[in-house]
Amino acid sequence: SSTLFDAQPSSSYVVRRGFSSESAPERKVAILGAAGGIGQPLALLMKLNPLVSKLALYDIAGTPGVAADVSHINTRSEVSGYAGEEQIGQALEGADIVIIPAGVPRKPGMTRDDLFNINAGIVKSLCTAISKYCPHALVNMISNPVNSTVPIASEVFKKAGTYDEKKLFGVTTLDVVRAKTFYAGKAKVNVADVNVPVVGGHAGITILPLFSQATPKANLPDDEIKALTKRTQDGGTEVVEAKAGKGSATLSMAYAGAIFADACLKGLNGVPDVVECSFVQSSVTELPFFASKVKLGKNGVEEVLGLGPLSDFEKEGLEALKPELKSSIEKGIKFANQS
């Protein structure tokens, strides 16, 4: 697990900027929904990543402005903007990674599942285009409800004959980012040193942070672990309420999306031992998709890692989340196959 501007010089952007471009292979990253609340800061952060050589920004509108703006930053990648469906082919062609933050965000009082009706259709059409124009790209799904949009993507790819379970990722990194921040605050440890796996899914109680495995160890009392768990599960809602109708997490999500895409790029480039949590096709539980630690490699998922030892509280949380996660997965699969 990594941070973008790491205290460790060996992995920092500042140092990596000196990375000769011959040693970092050409990599194209496409962002779909690039003019949105997440898309714009995510475009900025990907423009800062020296592992990217081409950055394609796609949205239904507004991308020429975002692309012109971001393109003036004096970093490696060449930036281009694409607007409207007739340009999606160009945006996707040759992409190594496609990041999808397209779709509507929550307003106060909404659950992620309330977004299903609009976002399911958007994801379906974008994945149809991916299967046509860049069937071998890694897909980083941010659009909610992730618990359903990832299964939708898998079904679209299966129908197109392009599905590779090693290349489809639900981005749950923001749950990890939140768990780390909240834990560091309670445990009074340096946040940059903290690691916390978050497993399950990406909505409410399906988000299961494993604080029993958090490092550095802090031996927090049960009531504090419970409160930290709840705050991590409700982190998105905390932001939705604070924004009071103006959307959900965008800046912290862009950061999390940039961390996850960076991990995917490192894996593609053969960096060893790159591990991040992600919602992927899985046999860790009886559910077909599940978030857990995943080792990333040259073909995407190299290994889906197991859960490790769980506390009794976490075991209960795991059993409690399964019915909701199962039904969200089934809802996605059903949608993809009926329409």
Would you tell me which residues interact with ligand NAI (CB under 6 A)? Answer: 32-33, 35-39, 59-60, 101-106, 115, 119, 122, 125-126, 142-144, 146, 171, 174, 202, 247-250, 253
β strands within the chain, DSSP E: 28-32, 54-59, 78-83, 97-100, 138-141, 168-170, 198-200, 207-209, 274-281, 289-297, 300-304
Q: Is 144 annotated as a binding residue?
A: yes
* Of residues 119 and 229, the one with the C-beta less far from ligand NAI: 119
Among 28, 202, 293, 331, the active-site one is 202
Question: Is 178 marked as binding a ligand?
Answer: yes
C-alpha to C-alpha distance for 234 and 297, rounded to whole angstroms: 32
Q: Is 37 annotated as a binding residue?
A: yes
**Minimal distance, residue 335 CB to ligand NAI, in Å:** 15
CB of 320 to ligand NAI, least distance (A): 21
46 known ligand binder: no
Q: Which is nearer to ligand NAI, 14 or 61 (CB)?
A: 61
Least gap, CB of 118 to ligand NAI (angstroms)? 8
Q: Hey, what are 87's tokens? A: 């340009």
- Least Å distance, CB 40 to ligand NAI, is 8
Taking the least distance from each CB to ligand NAI, the nearer of 253 and 265 is: 253
Residue 145: cis peptide before it, omega within 30 degrees of 0: yes
CA atoms of 6 and 79, how far apart (whole Å): 25
Distance CA 192, CA 216 (A): 10
3-state secondary structure of 305: coil
Minimum CB distance to ligand NAI, residue 279 (Å)? 9
Q: Is 143 annotated as a binding residue?
A: yes
Between strands 207-209 and 198-200, the pairing is antiparallel
Nearer to ligand NAI, 28 or 76 (CB): 28
Compare residues 138 and 142 and give the one whose CB is closer to ligand NAI: 142
What own/partner pairs with CB < 8 Å and gap ≥ 24 does 13-17 have?
Answer: 13/48, 13/49, 13/50, 16/50, 16/51, 17/50, 17/75
256 assigned ligand-binding residue: no
- Annotated ligand binding at 53? The verdict is no
Cβ-based nearer residue to ligand NAI, 123 or 187:
123
- The residue whose Cβ lies closest to ligand NAI is 36
Active-site residue, 202 included = yes
Question: 283-290 long-range contacts, Cβ below 8 Å, gap at least 24?
Answer: 284/199, 285/318, 285/322, 286/322, 287/322, 287/325, 287/326, 287/329, 288/151, 288/329, 289/147, 289/150, 289/151, 289/154, 289/170, 289/201, 289/325, 289/329, 290/199, 290/200, 290/201, 290/325
Q: Measured from the CB of residue 61, what is the shortest distance to ligand NAI in angstroms?
A: 6
Q: Known binding site for NAD(+): residues?
A: 33-39, 59, 119, 142-144, 253
Give the residue numbers annotated as catalytic, written as ranges: 202
Q: Known binding site: residues?
A: 33-39, 59, 106, 112, 119, 142-144, 178, 253
Q: Known binding site for substrate: residues?
A: 106, 112, 144, 178
